[in-house]
Amino acid sequence: MKRNYMLFLLCATLGFAQTGSLCNDPIVISSLPFAVSDNTANFGDNYDPQTTTHPTCATTTFGNYYHGGNDVIYAYTPSVSQTLKIEIPNALGWTGMFVYTNCANIGVQYAACATGVSAGARTINNFSVTAGQTYYIYISSWPSPQTVTYTLNVTEVALSTNDLSSTLEQTLLYPNPTGNILNIKSELPLEKVILYHSNGQQIGAFPLIDNAIDVTPLPKGLYWVELITTEQQKTVKRFIKS
C-alpha cells in the first residue's frame, strides 16, 4: 500500500500532459480533410513568448500577445507538396492561430498566422506546404479570455489551371543580375529548373536547393530559366549572370 501511495505521489508530481499541450507531443493530423472541435481549457498554458517584439505577419502586429492563453498544437506532415486552407470558421474574439515549421520557432518566427479581436473566421488560405516537412498549427488566445472553444478545419485547396498559371507567373528571381546564387521566390512547390542560353539552346537542369540554384560556373551573359512545378505547370523567366 505504501509503495502504491508513493507511486501515486510521483505521478501527481510529474503530471501527465494532455496530447496537444506541447509541441513535442502534438495532436497528429494523419489525413485531409480534417475537422475537430474542442476547447483550449482541455490543454495547458505552456507557451508565453516575450511581447516586447513580435514576428512579422500580415494579419497582426501583436502576435505574441495571442500566445497568452491556454495552447493547443496540431501537427501535419504532408506526403506530397500541396496547398492548404487552415481555418477556424467561427472563432471567439481574441483568438489567434499560427503555423510554425518547428517547435523552436514558437513566438519567434511564424510561417503564417490569423488573429482578431472580434468573433469571426480565422483563415490561412492558399498556404503551400512541402512534402516531408512537419507544420505545427498553434491555437491560443490574448489571454483574456484564458481559454476558447474552437473548430479547426484543414483542407487541401485544388487550384484551377488558371490559378496555378497566374500564381506561377508571379515567381521572382533575385538578385538579378547575380554572380553566383539565384534565389527563386515561388508560391508553388518547384520540382525542376532548366537553364537555357539566350539563343534558346538548353544548358540542362540545375539542382534546386532551398529554392535557389548556383550559377557560378556560367559565363557572364543573358539566360532563360524554365521553372517546372510539382503539378507540371511551367513558366520561363530571364536573368543576367554578372
From first to last of its 242 residues, what are the pLDDT tens digits of the chain? 444 434 444 444 344 579 999 999 999 999 999 999 999 999 999 999 999 888 877 556 789 999 999 999 999 999 887 889 999 999 999 999 999 999 999 999 998 899 999 999 999 987 888 889 999 999 999 999 999 999 999 998 875 555 555 656 678 899 999 999 999 988 778 888 989 888 778 898 898 888 899 999 999 999 988 888 877 777 788 899 99
- Asked whether 124 and 114 are in contact (CB, 8 A), the reply is yes
Task: Report DSSP state, residue 8.
Answer: H
Residue with the three cell numbers 523567366: 237
pTM recorded for the entire structure = 0.65
The three cell numbers locating residue 99: 503555423
3-state helix, strand, coil in the chain (%, to 5): 15, 45, 45
Least Cα distance to 193 among 211, 205, 177 occurs for 205
User: Going along the chain, which residue ranges are E strands?
Assistant: 27-29, 34-39, 72-76, 82-91, 95-100, 112-116, 120-129, 135-141, 149-156, 172-174, 181-185, 190-197, 202-205, 212-214, 221-229, 234-241
Task: Report DSSP state, residue 78.
Answer: -
Type of residue numbered 114 = A
The predicted structure's pLDDT at residue 187: 76
- Asked whether 148 and 212 are in contact (CB, 8 A), the reply is no
